[in-house]
């Protein structure tokens, strides 16, 4: 087995302010191999974006307390100095933010922002950096790319801004790309174009991608592996076909059942009852237990340990769907 590109072990993140601490992440462990696409899915507030920002050390140091380990290309990210972080960000690990209109600087042209990143990390002349910026805009499919170089972010449509953000993130050829719901604000046609673009560029550049989304259709389109988050924990992980095709955790099954796909017009959607827990006062047991129809007494008292329903799979559940607690499959599969 090859060495992982990214490995996270027992990652904890708590935000401290004037009030009660907020436990945003609890014991998150993930692994990403080179050239692999890992999708993190879950409801809003489950900790997906916090996980990505922790990987790049973008969380406010005065308010965020981070524990555990984050290893990127064999290096300890949590032990890096500010200088090492600046050298890594954008060059080896890059990020596509959820809303490019707020991520891009409104007072600089698209070309100037990409060229600045290229010169900062790769060096060279301004002319060479501008040529690189033009090449990246063309590679991500921006029409009339030479003209868009001198456009400001507000002069571009949402789809073009997202493509410009992707060009900026990929301009220095990173090994790892973090994508924080990059298709959320786009219409369906542009969304599929962006997904196909990312898949093509990922194959061409051989980079790893951690892709955050709450859209199961997006995960099915782009992912090799899927990690499901709930209340700051990874509750299930496995290949995209296994997790979405035969979920082991009741929360994953609830997400799949909540989709409008295959629901007749006028029929009621099988939504998950209740609401996610308050991260300032997490229950002592399984955070999903109050919403779970498969909960047993142990769920209210203890956080479920990870079980292994199969090779490369994990679920934090005392009664994993379709599997015995020992990890062996059972005959009856509860959908």
Q: Where are the beta strands (DSSP E) in the chain?
A: 6-15, 22-32, 37-41, 64-72, 75-76, 93-96, 176-180, 208-213, 225-230, 233-239, 306-307, 314-316
Please check whether residue 333 is in contact with residue 321, taking contact to mean a CB–CB distance below 8 angstroms: yes
**0.85 surpassed by pTM:** yes
Asked if residue 330 has pLDDT above 60, the reply is no
Domain that holds residue 162: 100-173
Q: How many angstroms separate the CA atoms of 100 and 181, rounded? A: 11
What total number of domains does the chain contain? 1
User: Tokens 């490019």 identify what position?
Assistant: 100
Query: Which pLDDT belongs to residue 140?
Result: 85
b (16+ CB within 10 A) / e for 264-274: eeeeeeeebee
Is the pLDDT at 328 greater than 60? The verdict is no
Residue 326 covered by a domain? no
pLDDT in tens, 136-185: 999 888 899 999 999 999 999 888 898 899 899 999 989 999 999 887 76
In the sheet with 37-41, reading across from the earlier edge strand, the strands are 93-96, 176-180, 208-213, 37-41, 225-230, 233-239, 314-316, 306-307
- The reply to whether 164 falls in a domain is yes
Average pLDDT taken over every residue of the chain: 89
Output 326 or 55, whichever has higher pLDDT.
55
- 258 confidence band (pLDDT: 50, 70, 90): confident
Residue 279 counted as domain residue: no
The answer, yes or no, to whether residue 71 has pLDDT greater than 80, is yes
Between 11-20, 25-34, 46-55, 67-76, the lowest mean confidence (pLDDT) is in 11-20
The confidence score (pLDDT) of residue 53 equals 95
User: Is pLDDT above 90 for 329?
Assistant: no
Rounded mean pLDDT, 320-334? 51
pLDDT at 64 over 90: yes
Average the pLDDT over 66-95 and give the result. Answer: 95
Indicate whether 106 belongs to any domain.
Answer: yes
Contact 211, 179 (CB under 8 A): yes
Better-predicted residue by pLDDT, 308 or 2: 308
Distance CA 84, CA 70 (A): 15
- Please report the pLDDT score of residue 70 as a whole number: 97
The 3-state DSSP class for residue 30 equals strand
Q: Is the pLDDT of residue 82 over 90?
A: yes
Q: Is residue 48 part of a domain?
A: no
Q: Is the pLDDT of residue 67 over 50?
A: yes
What residues does 323 pair with on adjacent strands? 329
What does the angle CA 278 – CA 281 – CA 287 come to, to the nearest 5 degrees?
65
Q: Is 123 a member of any domain?
A: yes
pLDDT digits (tens, 9 = 90+) for 105-144: 999 999 999 999 999 999 999 999 999 999 999 988 889 9
pLDDT for res 324: 54
Is residue 130, in this structure, part of any structural domain at all? yes
Contacts of 300 (CB under 8 A, 6+ apart): 283, 284, 285, 286, 289
Least confidently predicted of 28-32, 142-146, 158-162, 316-320? 158-162
In a domain, 65, yes or no: no
pLDDT exceeds cutoff 60 at 331: no
Q: Which residues are paired to 211 by β-bridges?
A: 39, 179
The predicted-structure confidence for 269-315, as pLDDT tens digits, reads as follows: 778 888 899 999 999 999 999 999 899 999 999 999 999 888 889 99
């Amino acid at each position: 087995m090859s060495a992982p590109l990214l490995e996270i072990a027992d990652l904890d993140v708590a935000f401290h302010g004037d009030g009660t601490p907020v436990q945003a992440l609890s014991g998150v462990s993930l692994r990403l191999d080179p050239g692999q696409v890992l999708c993190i899915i879950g409801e809003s507030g489950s900790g997906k974006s916090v996980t990505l920002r922790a990987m790049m050390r973008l969380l406010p140091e005065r308010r965020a307390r981070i524990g555990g380990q984050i290893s990127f290309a064999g290096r300890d990210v949590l032990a890096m100095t500010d200088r090492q972080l600046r050298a890594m960000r954008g060059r080896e690990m890059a990020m596509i933010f959820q809303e490019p209109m707020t991520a891009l600087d409104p007072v600089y042209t698209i070309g100037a922002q990409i060229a600045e990143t290229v010169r900062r990390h790769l060096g060279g002349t301004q002319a060479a950096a501008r040529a690189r910026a033009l090449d990246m805009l063309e590679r991500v499919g921006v029409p009339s790319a030479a003209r868009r170089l001198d456009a400001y972010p507000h002069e571009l449509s949402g789809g073009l801004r997202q493509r410009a953000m992707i060009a900026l993130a990929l301009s220095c050829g990173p090994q790892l790309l973090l994508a924080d719901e990059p298709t959320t604000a786009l219409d369906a046609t542009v969304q599929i174009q962006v997904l196909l673009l990312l898949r093509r560029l990922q194959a061409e550049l051989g980079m790893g991608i951690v892709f955050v989304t709450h859209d199961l259709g997006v995960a099915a389109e782009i992912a090799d592996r899927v990690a499901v988050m709930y209340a700051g924990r990874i509750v299930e992980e496995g290949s995209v076909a296994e997790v979405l095709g035969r979920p082991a955790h009741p929360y994953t099954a609830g997400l799949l059942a909540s989709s409008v796909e295959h629901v007749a017009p006028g029929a009621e959607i099988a939504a998950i009852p209740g609401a996610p827990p308050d991260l300032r006062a997490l229950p002592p047991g399984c955070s999903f237990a109050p919403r779970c129809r498969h909960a047993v007494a142990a769920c209210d008292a203890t956080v479920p340990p990870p079980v292994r329903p199969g090779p490369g799979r994990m679920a934090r559940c005392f009664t994993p769907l379709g599997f015995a607690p020992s990890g062996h499959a059972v005959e009856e599969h509860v959908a």
